[in-house]
């Protein structure tokens, strides 16, 4: 072959290659535009990803699938042998190789939170696996922000695995979650104030620019801390701004604003929760206790509806109604066990009752009047009547009974009190620990209400009913006490007394406190008489 022919062939091959590359470029551009316009997902290059993810998605190309398949086989083999130590790392690698494959993250997270966790005898080990599943889903959402299914899977772990009682370690899960949230936000955070704080470092710099006369940056330098990163690290270590910094800053108002900011970024870094979104949810439904799993299930379902292009997903909508119902029934923490993590006492969050009813109505209309939403609404109304009455909202309970009668005309003809007694009996028959605690706690609360108002007959009657229901429930569930046994009666009653002292008007709270002190003195006297053979020792 002559040199001219070789040159001609190479030139032709080069021109054909250039033409093909140009064609591929325009075809890829059209595909990318179609993907963006129709909100489709693909496994191509990802923006703003960590260096390792960028490397795997760009440099490895199609080989990513082969490597991921090998890691899947390795993970399956390890699980079959009961060797779980590498599972977390393998799950992270699979996600880095295929970050847009949301189904893989959903399966791996579910596998860790459900399958692997229950093989552990230690409750702490179970919590670690549940937590790893949560972390994996949070990470996957960074790459799949429009996937409503991932939000639903994440919310489901909070609603079902942590919030329910199916796992023997559920009390530890609830305590661990609550305590970890309290480490960041405290007991009763002011969400309105937190929502006004800068959401990230870039917003922080816009509000507190690095200028010579900046109080923040000047105090940072003079305090010896010097860097923002070191201040942030010290804040998370101690849960507050370092005294050396606040002393130099000498501005309580600014210190409080900075405290809010560092909590907001800590909340997002640790839990991926945005304070502004939490405040929006509180405004929509009422103030939720964000230490509880139901509130976080509502958050992720809300994010699923907000981020998916259609803003509609029946799974997320169902999750909001179910979790909000649960938050109404047991939506306020009254007592934690920060030593043994063996029990947690919650009471209803009556403030959200109207919001729950509205959510059911909206979901029913939005989903073509599906009967499942109507049935759930009617069940909610019956439970709401019992809880509202039990916790002293007598007029609201009667209002909801009238609404129930309008929803089911002719079905509820009995008197209000007859309906209540029948519902108490039915609810306790197959009650979960949450439902049983709510009913018993509500009766104790009503007893305290009657006690303060001088109606000793009703006070004694409600207390006796509460004690009777408690004893019968414990006997019926004696064989599975670790999973569904109630907290000690004295603990539940102590929690209700605390609720009453906080929620009663000042005069009523003062009367209740005086009666409790009088009762304690009588018990001490009775104890002295017994100890001394019946002789009084005043």
Tell me: the pLDDT tens digits for 264-285? 999 999 999 999 999 999 999 9
How far CA 75 is from CA of 112, 213, 341, 361, in Å, comes to 11, 56, 32, 45
Least confident of 94-98, 375-379, 455-459, 494-498: 94-98
Residue 245: predicted pLDDT: 94
Residue 44: predicted pLDDT: 46
| CA dist., res. 351 & res. 285, Å (int) | 9
Element (H, E) at 333: strand 332-335
Q: Is the dihedral of CA 263, 149, 40, 364 positive or negative?
A: negative
Please measure the distance between the N-terminal and C-terminal CA atoms of the chain and give it in whole angstroms: 125
Q: Quick one: which of 11, 307, 382, 267 has its CA closest to 150?
A: 307
Q: Quick one: which of 414, 320, 450 has its CA closest to 376?
A: 320
Residue 287: predicted pLDDT: 94
Give tens-digit pLDDT for 283-315: 999 999 999 999 999 999 999 999 998 888 989
- Token readout for 115 is 């399958």
| CA dist., res. 356 & res. 383, Å (int) | 12
Domains in the chain, ordered, with CATH? 51-144 (1.25.40), 200-271 (no CATH), 299-529 (no CATH)
- Token readout for 2 is 């002559």
Element (H, E) at 303: helix 293-307
Band of residue 538 on the pLDDT scale cut at 50, 70, 90? very low
How far CA 450 is from CA of 79, 329, 443, in Å, comes to 58, 22, 11
Q: What are phi and psi of 408, to 5 degrees?
A: -125, 70
Residues ≥6 apart with Cβ < 8 Å to 500:
445, 448, 449, 509, 512
Helix or strand or coil: residue 9?
A: helix
Give tens-digit pLDDT for 100-113: 778 888 888 998 99
Helix or strand or coil: residue 42?
A: coil
Q: Quick one: which of 75, 156, 172 has its CA closest to 114?
A: 156
Residue 367: predicted pLDDT: 80
Band of residue 64 on the pLDDT scale cut at 50, 70, 90? low
Q: Evaluate whether 443 touches 463 at the Cβ level (below 8 Å).
A: yes
The model scores a pTM over 0.75: yes
Helix or strand or coil: residue 242?
A: coil
| CA dist., res. 307 & res. 147, Å (int) | 8
| CA dist., res. 73 & res. 69, Å (int) | 6
Band of residue 154 on the pLDDT scale cut at 50, 70, 90? very high
Q: Please, how many CA atoms are within 13 Å of residue 238, restricted to the half-sphere of its CB?
A: 11
Instruction: Give the DSSP letter of residue 48.
Output: T
Question: Average pLDDT in the 74-87 region?
Answer: 73
Tell me the Cα Rg of the chain.
30
Q: What is the DSSP string of 479-531?
A: GGHHHHPPPPHHHHHHHHHHHHHHHS-HHHHHHHHHHHHHHHHHHHHHHHHHH
Which residue, chain included where needed, has tokens 């991921």? 68
């Amino acid at each position: 072959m002559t040199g001219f022919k070789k040159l001609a062939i190479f030139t032709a091959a080069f021109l054909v290659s250039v033409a093909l590359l140009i064609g591929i470029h325009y075809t890829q551009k059209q595909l990318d535009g179609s993907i963006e316009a129709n909100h489709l997902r693909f496994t191509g290059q990802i923006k703003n990803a960590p260096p390792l993810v960028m490397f795997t998605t760009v440099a490895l190309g199609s080989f990513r699938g082969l490597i991921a398949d090998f890691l899947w086989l390795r993970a399956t083999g390890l699980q079959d042998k009961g060797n779980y130590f590498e599972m977390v790392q393998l799950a992270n690698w699979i996600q880095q190789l295929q970050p847009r494959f949301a189904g893989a993250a959903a399966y791996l997270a579910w596998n860790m939170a459900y399958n692997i966790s229950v093989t552990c005898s230690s409750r702490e080990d179970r919590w670690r696996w549940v937590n790893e599943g949560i972390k994996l889903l949070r990470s996957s959402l960074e790459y799949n922000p429009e996937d409503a299914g991932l939000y639903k899977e994440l919310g489901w772990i909070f609603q079902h695995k942590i919030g329910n009682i199916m796992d023997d370690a559920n009390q530890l899960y609830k305590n661990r979650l609550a305590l970890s949230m309290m480490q960041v936000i405290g007991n009763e955070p002011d969400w309105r104030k937190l929502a006004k704080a800068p959401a990230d470092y870039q917003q922080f710099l816009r509000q507190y620019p690095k200028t010579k006369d900046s109080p923040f940056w000047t105090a940072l330098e003079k305090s010896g801390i010097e860097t923002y990163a070191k201040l942030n690290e010290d804040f998370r270590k101690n849960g507050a701004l370092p005294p050396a910094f606040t002393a130099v800053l000498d501005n309580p108002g600014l210190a409080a604003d900075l405290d809010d900011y560092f909590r907001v970024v800590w909340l997002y870094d640790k839990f991926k929760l945005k304070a502004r979104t939490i405040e929006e949810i509180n405004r929509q439904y009422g103030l939720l206790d964000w230490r509880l799993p139901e509130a976080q299930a509502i958050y992720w379902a809300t994010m699923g509806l907000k981020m998916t292009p259609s803003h509609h997903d029946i799974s997320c909508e169902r999750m909001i109604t179910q979790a909000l119902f649960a938050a109404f029934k047991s939506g306020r923490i009254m007592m934690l066990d920060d030593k043994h993590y063996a029990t947690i006492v919650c009471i209803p969050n009556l403030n959200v009752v109207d919001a729950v009813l509205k959510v059911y109505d909206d979901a029913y209309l939005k989903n073509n009047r599906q009967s499942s939403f109507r049935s759930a609404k009617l069940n909610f109304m019956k439970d709401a009547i019992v809880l509202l009455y039990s916790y002293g909202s007598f007029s609201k309970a009667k209002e909801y009974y009238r609404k129930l009668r309008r929803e089911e005309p002719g079905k509820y003809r009995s008197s209000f009190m007859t309906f209540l007694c029948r519902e108490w009996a039915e609810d306790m028959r197959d009650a979960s620990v949450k439902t049983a605690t709510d009913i018993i706690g509500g009766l104790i609360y009503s007893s305290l209400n009657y006690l303060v108002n001088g109606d000793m007959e009703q006070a004694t009657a409600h207390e006796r009913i509460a004690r009777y229901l408690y004893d019968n429930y414990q006997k019926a569930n004696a064989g599975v006490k670790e999973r569904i046994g109630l907290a000690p009666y004295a603990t539940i009653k102590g929690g209700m007394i605390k609720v009453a002292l906080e929620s009663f008007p000042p005069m009523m709270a003062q009367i209740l406190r005086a009666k409790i002190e009088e009762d304690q003195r009588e018990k001490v006297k009775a104890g002295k008489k017994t100890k001394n053979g019946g002789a009084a020792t005043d």
